[in-house]
Amino acid sequence: MENESRALGAERYRSARPLPWRNETSSAEQEGDLPPGRQLVRLAIEPTAAAFKEFKERALKGASVSADAADILCLIGDEEAAALTARVVMHSAAEGMLLTATAIRVADAMIDHIQLAAVRKRNTKAAKQFLQRQSHQAQTKRRRKNHKMFYERFDADRTFTMQQRLRAGVKAIGLFCDATDLFVIDTTGLGRRRIRPTEAVHRWLEQQHARCELLNPIHLPMIVAPRRWVSPYKGGYITKSPGNRLVKQANRKYHEQLRDVDMPGVYAAVNAIQATPWRINARLFDVVRAIWDSGGVLGGLPERNPLPVPARPTNGDDDAIARWKREAMNVHDANHKRVALRISMSQRLWIAEKFKDEEEIFFPHALDFRGRIYPIPAGGPNPQGDDLSKSMLEFARGEPIGDGGAHWLAVHLANQFGHDKLPFNERVDWVFANEALILDSARDPLDGQRFWASAENPFLALAACFEWQGYVEQGASYVTHLPVHLDGSNSGLQHFSALLRDPVGGAAVNLVPQDKPADIYAEVAKVAQAKVDASTDANTRLWSDGRVIRKIAKRPTMTYTYSATRFGMLDQVYQTLREIDRDGDPHIDGDNYDASYAMSYILWDSIRETVIAASAAMDWLRQAAKVMTKAGKPIWWTTPMGLPVLQDYPNSRRDLIRVYHQTKEVRLVVHMDAGGIDGRRQANAIAPNVIHSLDAAHLMSVANRCAEQGIDLAVVHDSFGCLPSRAFEMRGILRETFVEQYRPDRLAILRDELLAQLPDELLDALPPLPPMGALDIEAVAHSDYLFG
């Protein structure tokens, strides 16, 4: 960083903000918008190039160095190698990429440079045209094949083995890290190696106010409405960009078929959602900026200082050492997360400030392969972000709140404080009972009693406090821009219960009309507590005396229908215990890991006993996926909105390659294409992917119906937001569209699609569908708490 300080001092006069690495294809006026991380590349080149030069000199003198690494590194100039290594490492570190993948990326970047330099010597014009074509092509197998043919035409093709590429990449990364002290190679708790920036790099980036994300280009919101999607390749941003697609699916065959699919409802839904105009919530932003600039953490903003690593026990037994290792690993992981959160925080503030004065901003959207809709700009404030990201946005178009809208604003406000399981009228009563504290939060959020900071979603709560103040002071005519959200009750279980008309599961997740909302998480916790109280196992008994609280059961129950494993539940319980312990006394009188291990078994059984029909449907889907794999076929199905979904997880093999770095042997695992279909992944993924495709279809139906009614919509998969004055209408739309989707037997439709893909000899191998229950799907239209 001393090298950086000297360089910055020499350039400080040029601009108040650091001059980024110039993009030779852009004008000088555009330089200020380029990533400041690119300046780090330039600053790192000189010391890294010197390290490359020394390595090559030792290699040429016959010193004991990696021959495989030298094979590639000796073919490229020192400065070029340094620049490529620095740039790739910073890209990969920002993405959290593992060392193995980063090393391959570094080597491949060098090989591309070596090959293109050879072409340039023979035909400068051809090389220039090649670069121009390359900038408009997405990374595909066809592109790589075309590159190889191009290089072969000019006798410039250089082929290296995987081992040569790995060794060269690891050596280059090691030289870069040692020469600059900008990055280090770290080992995670799972034994995986990653490259991470040092604290000095993070301090430097924070001083630049994160003008944009480190090295990765940022997709920003738009200030005009996005292009309407009219085909799988046309829509979203106005200008063309490589890889611009409606559906994020790597399979080329899928996109070829999608061109001919008639799916007007899909296009209409995406276009309606991305046409919603937003604006930055300036009042909320000013509070966040004040907290961050003062170094505070109010509302859950990221800590600036790392957690202290616990000291190793000097005379501890094996169990004590094992506990210390787990705690130390947790601290290291937490510190790495803090670093990432700080960078993300600075970036979000920069983007919010950039667009704060715009009357309208828009978020172009696209779909994942199951049809779930996502905003393409995800790095800053966005409608599907976390508490902070969502709170900094509000609808650009407001409406008078009205007394009816005030009711739904109160419900929304109570929800942000964690009271979403109360009946609606009790949530409104809670707001009036706490109105003095709510108004204090709105009028003096930083120096008042800070009631808002105690909420489950502090910044969404504060934004709602501001609106409640407006209603109290101006009455029903107060114009609000705030989205109020209504959320599903464990969306996965709702869809499974509707699929099989399950009255028990349906009642547990509010498909059945009830006077107050059902709470599936509390029900599972109750079943689990009964099992604990009847157990004689010592680790299970750690949960006695009512310690299986709702919070312990929530994550495992929420993720069960998305193929969560028992081992995954162990980690979820363990992390929840750590969160609880940070708030006060230890929740468990014993070792958290041992207690979590025991509870994972208890919760697994408790969930399966509580949602029997969902378990049966998941089992059927897994068996069906195994039959499809036996036929050697991927799985296609069509969502209720007409979107084709392709699930195709290819087989791969793990190759272990040993390289040496900093006098230590590093074992790198490389995943190679092994041909065929990965039956295990197909079976594990089918249930969550089908359910995600169904909740995505419901969202699209809601979006289209709201667009017809002129309702601006905010969506997060199973959470729907609108202006308070339109919430009553939206509730009706949510229920009507859900019933319409599940009037047909959706599981039978899926079965028929699978049968059509199977060869005749395997038709009988597909198991019969699980039995349908007696749930009246039409009654769902009268369930007050289906979404709430």
What does the pLDDT read at residue 617?
Answer: 94
Distance (Å, whole) CA 25 – CA 133: 14
Last residue of a domain, one of 447, 479, 511: 479
Q: Are residues 335 and 414 in the same domain?
A: no
Residue with the two structure tokens 């941003």: 237
Answer yes or no: is pLDDT of 719 > 90: yes
Query: Does residue 484 belong to any structural domain of this protein?
Result: no
Query: Does residue 761 belong to any structural domain of this protein?
Result: yes
Distance (Å, whole) CA 195 – CA 199: 13
Distance (Å, whole) CA 584 – CA 571: 21
Angle at 632 between CA 631 and CA 638, to 5 degrees: 85
Q: Are residues 642 and 528 in the same domain?
A: no
Answer yes or no: is pLDDT of 238 > 50: yes
- Per-residue confidence at 133, pLDDT binned at 50, 70, 90? low
Residue with the two structure tokens 């870069």: 176
**89-103, 661-675, 733-747: range with highest mean pLDDT:** 733-747
617: nearest Cα among 506, 486, 702: 506
What does the pLDDT read at residue 39?
Answer: 67
Across-strand partners of 187? Answer: 193
Across-strand partners of 374? Answer: 366
**pLDDT tens-place string over residues 182-237:** 888 887 766 678 888 887 776 665 555 344 333 344 688 999 999 999 999 999 99
What does the pLDDT read at residue 669?
Answer: 58
The β-bridge relationship of strands 247-248 and 365-368 is parallel
* Across 4-30, average pLDDT: 32
Q: Are residues 600 and 627 in the same domain?
A: no
What is the SS3 assignment for 756? helix
Distance (Å, whole) CA 623 – CA 4: 58
Q: Are residues 137 and 44 in the same domain?
A: yes
Average pLDDT, the chain: 86
**pLDDT tens-place string over residues 279-309:** 999 999 999 999 999 989 999 998 888 888 8
Residue count of the chain: 788
Cα separations in angstroms, 667 against 99, 124, 128, 190, 664:
10, 41, 39, 13, 10
**CATH number for the domain that contains residue 750:** 3.30.70
What is the SS3 assignment for 643? coil
159: nearest Cα among 122, 123, 117, 115: 115
Q: Are residues 344 and 436 in the same domain?
A: no
Last residue of a domain, one of 139, 160, 186: 186
618: nearest Cα among 632, 607, 629, 630: 607
- Per-residue confidence at 778, pLDDT binned at 50, 70, 90? very high
Convert 357-424 into a string of H (helix), E (strand) and C (coil): CCCCEECCEEEECCCCEEECCCCCCCCCCCHHHHHCEEECCCEECHHHHHHHHHHHHHHHCCCCCCCH
Distance (Å, whole) CA 605 – CA 687: 19
What is the SS3 assignment for 504? helix
What does the pLDDT read at residue 190?
Answer: 65
**CATH number for the domain that contains residue 429:** 1.10.287.280
Q: Are residues 73 and 182 in the same domain?
A: yes
Q: Are residues 413 and 436 in the same domain?
A: yes
Kindly state the DSSP code that residue 493 receives in the 8-state scheme. Answer: H
Query: What percent of the chain has pLDDT above 70?
Result: 86
Q: How many CB atoms lie within 10 A of CB 65?
A: 16
Tokens representing 744? 């047909």
Q: Please give the positions annotated as active site.
A: 487, 554, 718
Total tally of structural domains belonging to the chain: 5
Answer yes or no: is pLDDT of 11 > 70: no
Query: Does residue 491 belong to any structural domain of this protein?
Result: no
Q: Choose the weakest-confidence range: 17-26, 597-606, 777-786.
A: 17-26
Could you list the residue range(s) of the whole structural domain that residue 669 is in?
619-782
Residue with the two structure tokens 């034994």: 191
Q: Are residues 774 and 666 in the same domain?
A: yes
> Which contiguous run of DSSP H or E holds residue 530?
helix 520-533
**pLDDT tens-place string over residues 550-589:** 999 999 998 888 878 888 999 999 999 988 887 777 888 8
Last residue of a domain, one of 294, 322, 357: 357
- Residue with the bigger pLDDT between 458 and 203: it is 458
Cα separations in angstroms, 168 against 64, 162, 192, 655, 743:
15, 10, 19, 17, 59
Kindly state the DSSP code that residue 30 receives in the 8-state scheme. Answer: G
Distance (Å, whole) CA 502 – CA 442: 44
Query: Does residue 699 belong to any structural domain of this protein?
Result: yes
788: nearest Cα among 489, 387, 557, 432: 489
Q: Are residues 605 and 675 in the same domain?
A: no
Residue with the two structure tokens 């604290």: 199
Query: Does residue 590 belong to any structural domain of this protein?
Result: yes
Query: Does residue 768 belong to any structural domain of this protein?
Result: yes
363: nearest Cα among 715, 724, 725, 34: 715
The β-bridge relationship of strands 635-638 and 644-647 is antiparallel
Q: Are residues 629 and 529 in the same domain?
A: no
Query: Does residue 140 belong to any structural domain of this protein?
Result: yes
What does the pLDDT read at residue 661?
Answer: 39
- Give Cα 4 to chain centroid, integer Å: 33
- Per-residue confidence at 9, pLDDT binned at 50, 70, 90? very low
Task: Give 400: exposed, middle or buried? Use CB within 10 Å, 0-12, 13-18, 19+.
Answer: middle
What does the pLDDT read at residue 20?
Answer: 32
What does the pLDDT read at residue 716?
Answer: 95
**CATH number for the domain that contains residue 541:** 1.10.150.20
**pLDDT tens-place string over residues 19-78:** 332 333 333 233 223 345 566 777 788 889 899 999 888 887 766 556 678 888 888 888
Are 341 and 201 contacting, i.e. CB atoms less than 8 angstroms apart?
no
Q: Are residues 628 and 521 in the same domain?
A: no
Q: Are residues 654 and 605 in the same domain?
A: no
Largest Cα–Cα distance of the chain, in whole Å? 84
**CATH number for the domain that contains residue 159:** 1.10.1320.10
Cα separations in angstroms, 218 against 7, 32, 215, 271, 740:
26, 14, 9, 22, 39
Answer yes or no: is pLDDT of 524 > 50: yes
**135-149, 571-585, 637-651, 653-667: range with highest mean pLDDT:** 637-651
Amino acid present at 644: P
Query: Does residue 385 belong to any structural domain of this protein?
Result: no
- Give Cα 710 to chain centroid, integer Å: 30
